[in-house]
Chain A
Amino acid sequence: MITKRIIPCLDVRDGRVVKGINFEGLRDVSSPVALAEYYSSCGADELVFYDITASSDGRKLFTDILRETARKVFIPLTVGGGINTVEDFDRVLKCGADKVSVNSGAIKNPDLIGEAAKLYGNQCVVLSADVKRVGGEFRIFAKGGREDTGMEAIGWIRRCAENGAGEIVVNSIDTDGVKGGFDLEMLNAVCSAVSVPVIASGGAGKIEDFITLFKTLPGVDAGLAASIFHFGEVKIADLKAEMAKNNIPTRI
């Protein structure tokens, strides 16, 4: 039986890992390489690196840090931030990324996902969607969650999956940083709309939030979080032990 994945997300700016509350008020946490090695050794199933400023100002990812991380970490590594062209895919894949996550790039260029999937395979293309409730519907937000695109989210996510996105990271802006649990309503809507793996992001504050997520929504494949892991509020080993105790398929 395939196991539910636990994925720490490392938001990287200026070569350091940071995590904002509702995307603002960034705090420095640690070195990406050191954190990645630590997580890999203590049971993380996968890692995500986001260059969180790239979509705003076009800054390129710090490929040296990515390369150094990929040399030392032997679990799947997803890279996102500033991915606007297939050349951007090529650049991070050459530095050791296994999957590439697109967000604003897919909004600006609707053909990007299809082009990348054709070149590198669907398994390589991850759609990262920042979603927020606006006037009774789910909307897609761009530019690190700062700009309402006006597009209805669920239909857009479905089209991206049809175009070749092999996995969907659903980040709820409404619950991000609040630590009150994952956005089950939003995630359920996405799970019903696509048949590719869905990764839940935004809102985890404690171990029970992950248990509730996987128990309530069997269609969710993975849980992603940042600060609760970085600050040690949730230890991955404890989380996975608790998941196993609750009969959730877990890699121990």
Chain B
Amino acid sequence: MIAIVDYGVGNLFSLKSSFSAVGADVTVTSDRKVLRDADKIILPGVGAFKDAAMKLSSTGLSDFLCEEAKTGKPLMGICLGMQMLFEKSYEYGEHSGLGLIKGTVRPLSGVIPGGLKIPHIGWNALHIERKNPLLSEISEGECVYFVHSYYAADCSESVIATTEYGAPITAAVAMDNVFGCQFHPEKSGTVGLRILKAFAEMKV
């Protein structure tokens, strides 16, 4: 069973539907018992880092998720959920993340040339930087759907894929059993479904 963490952030309907579409047993929950019993956990998220981090810590889920990740259980963050895996974010101030992966979250405006639109919205190609089971069914150059204004920096050890938007931008990360996608696999057509399927079928 895959458990999608429900902490009042974002639309989880599509994420749940897309896991169902690849044949995975999936549930949306904030119940720790369900999360503890799950084989794998998805940390979703859209909106502002500060709000999401506050919601996650005020419910005590931050510490809980870190403990679960330490047991070796696969955990994948998506979009803002990926950004929350890092140590800290500089989105409107400075805010702590879960610290499961080394790195920081910084504004795209600081790294891409002026004239490029922010947010980075749309389909962009994946460049595979490291072999990883998450991308086992993905070919170099396949497109996925991005919507974001901040990106993961200082994380060269964990980057498994980048995308080009005036500069190489972190697209996917992996560190042992912890994974993250900056893009939305649940909105990336068949390419995205292949990534979700790879996660769902990963051996625990």
Task: Decide: A166 near B121, CB < 8 A? Known: A74-B189, A76-B187, A94-B11.
Answer: yes
Chain A residue numbers with a CB within 8 Å of B30 are: none
Task: Report Cα–Cα, A74/B147, bound state, in Å.
Answer: 15
- The answer, yes or no, to whether A75 is at the interface (CB within 8 Å) is yes
The answer to whether A167 touches B123 (Cβ under 8 A) is no
Q: Is the interface of B mostly helix, strand, loop or mixed?
A: mixed
Task: Report Cα–Cα, A92/B165, bound state, in Å.
Answer: 31
Among B118, B122, B146, B193, contact of A74 (Cβ-Cβ < 8 Å): B193
Task: Decide: A74 near B187, CB < 8 A? Known: A2-B165, A5-B123, A122-B119.
Answer: yes
- The answer, yes or no, to whether B192 is at the interface (CB within 8 Å) is yes
- The answer, yes or no, to whether B29 is at the interface (CB within 8 Å) is no
12 more CB-based (< 8 A) A-B contacts, given A40-B189, A76-B187, A121-B48: A2-B123, A2-B124, A3-B123, A72-B17, A74-B193, A76-B145, A96-B11, A96-B13, A98-B187, A121-B46, A124-B46, A251-B143
Task: Report Cα–Cα, A45/B124, bound state, in Å.
Answer: 11
**What are 19 residue pairs bridging A and B, where the CB atoms are less than 8 Å apart in the complex?**
A2-B123, A3-B143, A5-B123, A70-B13, A70-B14, A71-B17, A74-B188, A74-B189, A74-B193, A75-B145, A96-B14, A98-B14, A121-B48, A123-B147, A166-B119, A196-B117, A221-B121, A222-B122, A251-B143
Among B46, B122, B187, contact of A3 (Cβ-Cβ < 8 Å): B122
Among A71, A98, A195, contact of B11 (Cβ-Cβ < 8 Å): A98
Count of A-B contacts judged by CB separation below 8 Å: 85
The answer to whether A221 touches B122 (Cβ under 8 A) is yes
The answer to whether B14 touches A2 (Cβ under 8 A) is no
The answer to whether A96 touches B17 (Cβ under 8 A) is yes
A:54-78 near B, CB below 8 Å: 67, 70-72, 74-76
What's the minimum C-beta distance from B195 to chain A, rounded to whole angstroms?
A: 11
Fill in one digit per residue for B119-158: 1 if any A CB lies within 8 Å of its CB, else 0: 1111111000000000000000001011100000000000
The answer to whether B11 touches A197 (Cβ under 8 A) is no
Task: Report Cα–Cα, A1/B166, bound state, in Å.
Answer: 8
- The answer, yes or no, to whether A113 is at the interface (CB within 8 Å) is no
Task: Decide: A195 near B117, CB < 8 A? Known: A74-B187, A74-B193.
Answer: yes
Task: Report Cα–Cα, A197/B187, bound state, in Å.
Answer: 18
- The answer, yes or no, to whether B21 is at the interface (CB within 8 Å) is yes
Chain A residue numbers with a CB within 8 Å of B193 are: 74
- The answer, yes or no, to whether B89 is at the interface (CB within 8 Å) is no
Task: Decide: A3 near B124, CB < 8 A? Known: A196-B117, A197-B117.
Answer: yes
Chain B residue numbers with a CB within 8 Å of A45 are: 122-123
The 6 residue pairs across chains A and B that have the minimum distance between CB atoms: A251-B143, A251-B123, A96-B13, A71-B17, A123-B147, A2-B122
Among B11, B13, B119, B187, contact of A75 (Cβ-Cβ < 8 Å): B187
